C-alpha cells in the first residue's frame, strides 16, 4: 500500500492475509450527496469488502473540521469514526474525504473552507446555493477564472494479518482542473458543481450524469487510487510494516 505524505503503513509480500475475513468499509460522512457518489465506486471491489454508512449503523456523528489542510481534515474524520466504531468489527476501514475548490484569482480560496465559504448571519453552515452565489460575487469582473477541485481520501483501518491485528492509515488524492463559469450551468450534482467547468469536457459537473461524473471527477480519481491500494489487502500474501513515525 502506497502512502501519501506522512505514513504509518507499507505492505510487502511475505505472509498470507486472512482470505475469509469480511472487511467493513464505513463511509465517514453524513453527507448524503457524497455517499451517493462514493458508494457505487466501492461496492464492486470484492465480495470480501462490505460498504456501509454512518446512518445505516445508527451513528449520528458530527465531526468539526479543525485542521488547516484537506489531508488533515480527512484523517481527522477517519480517525474519529474508526475510534467510535472499530470495536464492532473484526476488520474495518473508515473512509473519509475532504474536498476543496481552489481558485487561482482568490489565492487558492475557498480551499479547506469550501463548505463554509459564504458568510451567514447566524453562523450556521451555508447552503450550497449560498456558497455558489458568494463565489460568483467574489469573482465578479475577474478575467482569470482558472480553478481546480482537490479531494483527499483518508483510510484508517484494522485488519487481521497472520496472528496479529494490523492498524494502518493511508491517504490518496485526486485533482481536476477547470474554471469558474460566469453563471450557473446545469441542474445536477451538488455544491459548486453548477459553476465548475471541467476543461477536459467543456461541461460543468452539474451538466453531467452521476455516471459520467464518477468517471472523471476529483473525488472519483482519489477513490480509484484508494481502491488500487485496498486491493493489495486481497493479494495472496503481504506483510504490514510500520513506519518509524506516526502521521501528524
State the Cα–Cα distance between residues 174 and 200, nearest whole angstrom. Answer: 15
Residue 176 · residue 147 · CB < 8 Å = no
Cα–Cα nearest to 217, from 131, 111, 126, 101: 101
State the Cα–Cα distance between residues 119 and 117, nearest whole angstrom. Answer: 6
Question: Is 122 labeled as catalytic in the residue annotation?
Answer: no
Q: Residue count of the chain, please give it.
A: 248
Q: Which three cell numbers stand for residue 119?
A: 458568510
Q: Cα–chain-centroid distance for residue 219?
A: 6
Out of 98, 104, 122, 229, the active site residue is 98
| CA-derived radius of gyration, the chain | 19
Query: What are the residue numbers of the active site?
Result: 98
Amino acid at each position: 500500500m502506497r502512502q501519501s505524505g506522512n505514513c504509518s503503513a507499507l505492505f510487502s509480500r511475505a505472509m498470507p492475509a486472512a482470505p475469509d475475513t469480511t472487511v467493513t468499509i464505513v463511509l465517514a460522512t453524513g453527507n448524503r450527496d457524497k455517499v451517493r457518489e462514493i458508494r457505487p465506486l466501492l461496492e464492486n471491489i470484492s465480495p470480501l469488502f462490505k460498504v456501509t454508512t454512518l446512518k445505516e449503523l445508527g451513528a449520528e456523528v458530527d465531526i468539526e473540521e479543525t485542521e488547516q489542510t484537506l489531508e488533515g481534515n480527512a484523517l481527522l474524520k477517519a480517525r474519529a469514526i474508526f475510534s467510535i466504531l472499530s470495536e464492532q468489527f473484526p476488520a474495518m476501514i473508515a473512509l473519509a474525504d475532504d474536498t476543496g475548490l481552489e481558485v487561482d484569482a482568490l489565492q487558492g480560496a475557498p480551499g479547506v473552507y469550501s463548505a463554509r465559504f459564504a458568510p451567514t448571519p447566524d453562523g450556521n453552515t451555508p447552503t450550497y446555493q449560498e456558497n455558489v452565489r458568494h463565489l460568483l460575487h467574489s469573482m465578479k469582473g475577474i478575467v482569470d477564472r482558472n480553478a481546480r477541485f482537490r479531494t483527499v481520501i483518508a483510510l484508517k483501518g484494522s485488519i487481521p494479518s497472520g496472528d496479529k491485528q494490523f492498524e494502518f492509515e493511508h491517504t490518496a488524492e485526486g485533482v481536476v482542473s477547470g474554471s469558474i463559469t460566469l453563471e450557473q450551468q446545469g441542474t445536477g450534482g451538488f455544491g459548486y458543481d453548477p459553476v465548475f467547468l471541467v476543461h477536459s469536457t467543456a461541461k460543468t459537473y452539474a451538466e453531467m450524469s452521476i455516471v459520467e461524473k464518477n468517471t472523471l471527477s476529483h473525488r472519483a480519481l482519489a477513490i480509484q487510487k484508494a481502491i488500487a491500494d485496498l486491493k493489495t489487502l486481497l493479494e495472496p500474501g503481504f506483510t504490514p510494516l510500520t513506519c518509524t513515525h506516526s502521521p501528524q
